[in-house]
Amino acid sequence: MRLPVLVVVAGTALSGCHPQFDAAKKERSECRAGNATACHDFGRRLLDGRYVLRDGAQAALVLRQACDGRIADACARLGGLYERGTGVDSSIVQAVDLYDQSCTAGSMDGCYRLGTMYRRGRAVLLNNTRALELFNQACQGGERSACAPVGDMLMMGQGAPQDWARAATYYEMSCDSTMADGCMGLARLLTDGRFVSLDEPRAAELYRKMCEWSNGEACYYFAQMLNAGRGIQKDEGRAARNMRRACNLGYEIACPREDQRKAPPQGRGL
């Protein structure tokens, strides 16, 4: 298998060889020698363009070698390439097969991706019960990006009866891993107060934190809480700045209407 030429990132030559450049060369060499783990690591490097030329086609070849070498996460990543058509011809069916293979082999990333396919009905029949099982498996296995979807499905009664208390638990797990979707779900529950204990101060802090992560929707709700003095000291000026930030981040409902004579004050918010 022909592997791409390595390149040093500009500036490293001035201070000697960068350790990551050496690591890339080692991964390439060990992959050529048949080390499946090294192929997986090198494939990820090729996708990211970290101290090698970014190359989706070569990444697909290397990840295939890693997948054939029973590296479950490599199969999941290869499935992602087929789903997006990166470096290979797009094939949703092939992506689903690889996600299934990787999940069966223990990749929680693969289980999460397969759950998404079942929830969307892509190349498989729409099956919320199966999707929820896969998301839950992935979340409990440490794939925190799968926790918020469990919360969402429990909130809507998809795949299982509605259970707002359990939904809050999954949102909490997601939010603790700095996943914005989980924090949004948790904040909404905390401000509603019907399904979990009302806690507006914590909700306001969650919205503020997510606004710092450049989440426009969170900036919008944080601005509303500031404007009303809910869970935080009332501050109309700060509210206006955060509303403006929400608009600048693309959350259109926060943008001033044409009939408004004066735009909110400029500023980065928070």
Q: Give the length of the chain.
A: 270
pLDDT of res. 2: 55
Residue 1 — pLDDT band, cuts 50, 70, 90?
low
Q: Which residue did the predictor score with more confidence, 38 or 11?
A: 38
Answer whether residue 66 shows pLDDT above 80.
Answer: yes
CATH class of the structural domain 73-126: mainly alpha
Question: φ and ψ at 236, to 5 degrees?
Answer: -65, -35
Q: How far is CA 40 from CA 22, 26, 106, 130, 261, in A?
A: 17, 13, 15, 28, 57
**Contact between 246 and 238 (Cβ < 8 Å):** no
pLDDT of res. 269: 58
pTM: 0.80
pLDDT of res. 265: 47
Parse the chain into domains and list their residue ranges: 1-70, 73-126, 199-270
Answer whether residue 11 shows pLDDT above 70.
Answer: no
Question: φ and ψ at 182, to 5 degrees?
Answer: -65, -40
Maximum Cα–Cα distance for the chain, whole Å? Answer: 69
Structure tokens at 220: 């919008």
pLDDT of res. 234: 96
pLDDT of res. 176: 83
Answer whether residue 224 shows pLDDT above 50.
Answer: yes
Q: If you average pLDDT over every residue of the chain, what do you get?
A: 89
**Residue holding tokens 């592997």?**
3
Residue 181 — pLDDT band, cuts 50, 70, 90?
confident
Q: What is the DSSP string of 25-94?
A: HHHHHHHHTT-HHHHHHHHHHHHHTSSB---HHHHHHHHHHHHHTT-HHHHHHHHHHHHHTSSS---HHH
14-28, 74-88, 128-142, 190-204: segment of lowest average pLDDT: 14-28
pLDDT of res. 250: 95
pLDDT of res. 18: 77
Q: What is the CATH number of domain 199-270?
A: 1.25.40.10
Measure the CA–CA gap between 156 and 161, rounded to whole angstroms.
Answer: 8
